[in-house]
Amino acid sequence: MFVDDKAIEFFSSRMLLVKINAGEDTLIKKEYNVSGFPTNILMDARGNEIDRMMGFAPTDEYLKTMIDYASGVGTLDDLLNRAKGDVDRALYFEIAEKYKYRGGLEEAGQWYEKVIEAGDALDSLSGRSRLGWADMYRRAKDYDRSLAAFQAVLDDFPNGSVDQEAMIYKAYILKVQGNNDKALAVLEDFVKTYPESEDVEWAQEQIDKLKAEPADDAGDK
């Protein structure tokens, strides 16, 4: 729970804060398409979603976002209205991400496609869009499709931040599928290829865990 005085005062006077344990309250998790933690959902008095924030943020940034959302600024509806004007790939990407985190996979895919179609299919924003698309399948637990999509990103966007993230996700999915040997190989390649990455420490921890587990009997899946 919050320990910052600003956050405590804000939720004591301006908004009602309710904490849900999605591991136990699975019906609520399903109803609101919670696919990652922490998920912060701002609702109106009727329980309708206004918008949501994923992950952590500094207190001032977090509170400003909540206030903006309550005023209708930066919400999905606001972005959709703004997208009716000139072509704006960054705005399209932001809309796609919002749909992805709400579980709107079809809508997210359509907006990722708009990003790619409106620019260079191999530039960084197209790479981020394809990465988001692959992650969308992962969140839906469509692991085979997600793995293929991440591999396609690796093939088309080598040696960059997109490539690094795709490698991490590829290793994660392989481990989920029980292909520990393949996951280990990807992680070791990651550490060797990107020794300065901020994810190296995490990757090395996963390598150590995988090496400590029994031999991989899953074979090729």
Residue 22's pLDDT is 65
**Residues of the chain above pLDDT 70, percent:** 93
Of 70, 87, 102, the domain-final residue:
70
Q: How confident is residue 219, by pLDDT bands cut at 50, 70 and 90? A: very low
We report the CATH number of the domain holding residue 54 as 3.40.30.10
User: In the structure encoding, which two tokens stand for residue 26, read together?
Assistant: 């699975």
Task: Give 51's strand partners.
Answer: 42
Of 45, 70, 95, the domain-final residue:
70
Average pLDDT of the residues of the chain? 89
Is 39 part of any domain?
yes
Is 96 part of any domain?
no
How far apart (Å, rounded) are the C-alpha atoms in residues 116 and 125?
8
Q: Please indicate whether residue 219 or residue 15 has the higher confidence score (pLDDT).
A: 15
Is 105 part of any domain?
no
Contact between 172 and 191 (Cβ < 8 Å)? no
Residue 208's pLDDT is 96
Task: Indicate yes or no: pTM above 0.75.
Answer: yes
Residue 86's pLDDT is 85
Is 168 part of any domain?
yes
Domain residue limits at 189 = 143-221
Q: How confident is residue 215, by pLDDT bands cut at 50, 70 and 90? A: low
We report the CATH number of the domain holding residue 174 as 1.25.40.10
pLDDT digits (tens, 9 = 90+) for 112-167: 999 999 999 999 999 999 999 999 899 889 999 999 999 999 999 988 889 999 99
How far apart (Å, rounded) are the C-alpha atoms in residues 195 and 206?
15
Of 37, 52, 70, the domain-final residue:
70
State whether residue 215 is helix, strand or coil. Answer: coil
pLDDT, average across residues 41-56? 88
User: Is the pLDDT at 36 greater than 80, yes or no?
Assistant: no
User: Is the pLDDT at 179 greater than 90, yes or no?
Assistant: yes
Per-residue 3-state assignment (H helix, E strand, C coil) for 50-114: EEEEECCCCHHHHHHHHHHHHCCCCCHHHHHHHCCCCCCHHHHHHHHHHHHHHCCHHHHHHHHHH
pLDDT, average across residues 80-108? 93
With b meaning 16 or more CB within 10 Å and e meaning fewer, what string describes 89-128? bebbbbbbbbbbbbbbbebbbebbebbbeebeeeeebbbb
Residue 159's pLDDT is 81
Contact between 11 and 2 (Cβ < 8 Å)? yes
**Total domains, the chain:** 2
pLDDT, average across residues 205-217? 82
User: Is the pLDDT at 218 greater than 50, yes or no?
Assistant: no
Is 156 part of any domain?
yes
Residue 186's pLDDT is 97
